[in-house]
Structure 1
Amino acid sequence: MDRTNVGTIKEAAVRTIRRQRKVEWIHALDGVSFDVARGEIFAVVGPNGAGKSTLMKVIARVLPPTTGRVIVRGQVAPMIELGSGMNPELTARENIILYGSMLGRDPRHMRERVGPIVEWAGVEEFVDVPTRSYSSGMMGRLAFSVATDIEPEVLVVDEVLSVGDKAFRAKSQARMNQLINGGSAVVVVSHSIEMLKNLATRAMWLDRGRIKMLGPADEVLGGYQTSG
């Protein structure tokens, strides 16, 4: 074989492979449509990869939808990832002021709320310690305490409650009930079906980005629980 043609043959082979490569589009969410009323806790369930976290990010305006639209009336406080909105190099006190300011709250007001927030989270002894030294449980409690203390119109919670113990989950449920009694809307994702049964009034079951079931929480959660 003429060695001068080797490079040309290789290039042709690469071009051929590239032409044959197919791009397959995956819709993380497909035709998902629902509403959440004020004073309601709405649960979202589904297997891993169903699109739950993507949905939470779209609601929280972290990800823009490629098609369709999301209408959210009021301030959204997202708890999508553990420690989201928190700077690990800052102390709890500094993070509280920063988080509140990001959600439009007056820094002076947030300074006044530092005491009640860290007391609820049980981290008052570590208020001036950088949060990088916090355990996952401490971070979860602090983030939840801040997000709910500002009383947002919409609270979005994605599996963050799973890092806490039984006492924290009970306190969190009481705090969410307090929010909805004040007219807030709560959208929560969790694999803890029993917890959701105690919390939610309505629920949606996602599977491969599509709605499999939508309706009263008892029916949807019961159907999902027995499916697996």
Structure 2
Amino acid sequence: MTTAIEVKNINKQFVLRHTRSIKEAIVWLAKGRKGDLSEKFHALHDVSLEIGQGEAVALLGFNGSGKSTLLKHISGVMVPDNGTVRTRGRVAGLIEVGAGFHHDLSGRDNVYLNGAILGMTEEQIKERFDSIVEFAEIGKFIDTEVKFYSSGMYLRLAFSVAVHTDPEVFLVDEILAVGDEPFQRKCIAKIQELAAEGKTLVVVSHDLDLVSRICDRGILLDRGNVTFDGPIEQAVATLRA
């Protein structure tokens, strides 16, 4: 099986600051508080994994386990402190609502902007524009500035642009929870369609029933460590236990 995603020995630390300004730091010290004004949080510990082309994989774990951080490394939004991440083919997906959108531009302009960011040419965007708008169901608002959009409208347009890039690797964070139920069903159907076409899927979700339907493999993370990697049914059972 051709490898679509290779993550090798990546580590990621964040600095958690207890004060936000020089004034707060002085007050902290003046009150005799002990300890550092900041501390390091190790989000990912020496994580390695491979995902084959056409696999549908769920990244599972409780809040703070590192699954969204790992997904952002795969997408290229974050760079590891050390280690490597390699992907094969076009990567697209939804990591955050409205990521890649400019608030002062219209929905129409943002389709072109976001499409270009995701690797589409202007000609490809023109060809797929009507389909993008139709899937998003925001036709009459397409020329409205997106700063006036609801989170649900953001989601519909962002998801529609992403799936119309025809990606080889599609990434989805917990973002599906933002949309209304009919659109969630529509998104899930589209994700299942991508899986049936042999696209590589990586999904982060707390909806264990949903990932059981979409994915065939589950990777569990706990405090930045991979603790299980295997069949989705076993991964879900382990997490629930």
Instruction: Decide: shared fold, TM above 0.5.
Output: yes
The residue type equivalent to 1:53 in the other structure is S
Asked if residue 33 in structure 1 is aligned to residue 48 in structure 2, the reply is yes
User: 2-side partners of 1:192 and 1:152: how far apart?
Assistant: 24
Q: How high is the sequence identity, in percent, across the aligned residues?
A: 41
User: 1:157-172, aligned counterparts within 5 Å?
Assistant: 157-172=172-187
- Structure 1 residues 21 and 169 mapped into 2: Cα distance closer, same or farther (>3 Å)? closer
Asked if residue 134 in structure 1 is aligned to residue 159 in structure 2, the reply is no
- Structure 1 residues 149 and 31 mapped into 2: Cα distance closer, same or farther (>3 Å)? same
What is the aligned-residue RMSD (CA, Å)?
Answer: 2.0
CA contact (8 A) 2:173 2:203 kept: yes
Asked if residue 101 in structure 1 is aligned to residue 116 in structure 2, the reply is yes
The residue type equivalent to 1:218 in the other structure is E
Per the normalisation by structure 1, the TM-score is 0.85
The residue type equivalent to 2:120 in the other structure is R
- Deviation of the 1:198 alpha carbon: 1.0
User: 1:10-49, aligned counterparts within 5 Å?
Assistant: 21=36, 24-49=39-64
- Choose the corresponding residue for 1:181, options 175, 182, 196: 196
Relative contact order, higher structure (CA 8 A, sep 6+): 1
Asked if residue 198 in structure 1 is aligned to residue 213 in structure 2, the reply is yes
- Corresponding residue for residue 67 of structure 2: 52
User: 2-side partners of 1:96 and 1:27: how far apart?
Assistant: 36
Asked if residue 112 in structure 1 is aligned to residue 124 in structure 2, the reply is no
User: 1-side partners of 2:106 and 2:36: how far apart?
Assistant: 50
The residue type equivalent to 1:197 in the other structure is S
User: 1-side partners of 2:50 and 2:180: how far apart?
Assistant: 31
- Deviation of the 1:26 alpha carbon: 2.7
- Deviation of the 1:185 alpha carbon: 0.8
User: 2-side partners of 1:154 and 1:113: how far apart?
Assistant: 19
Which structure would you say has the larger Rg?
Answer: 1
More strand by share: 2
Answer with 158-167 or 20-29: which moved more.
20-29
- Structure 1 residues 23 and 134 mapped into 2: Cα distance closer, same or farther (>3 Å)? closer
The residue type equivalent to 2:97 in the other structure is L
Per the normalisation by structure 2, the TM-score is 0.81
Q: What SS is found at the alignment partner of 2:221?
A: strand
- Deviation of the 1:65 alpha carbon: 1.0
The residue type equivalent to 2:157 in the other structure is L
More helix by share: 1
Following TM superposition, the consecutive aligned residue runs of length 4 or more in structure 1 with deviations greater than 2 angstroms are 20-26, 180-183
- The answer for unaligned runs of 5 or more in structure 1 is 1-13
- Alignment length (residue pairs): 211
The residue type equivalent to 1:178 in the other structure is E
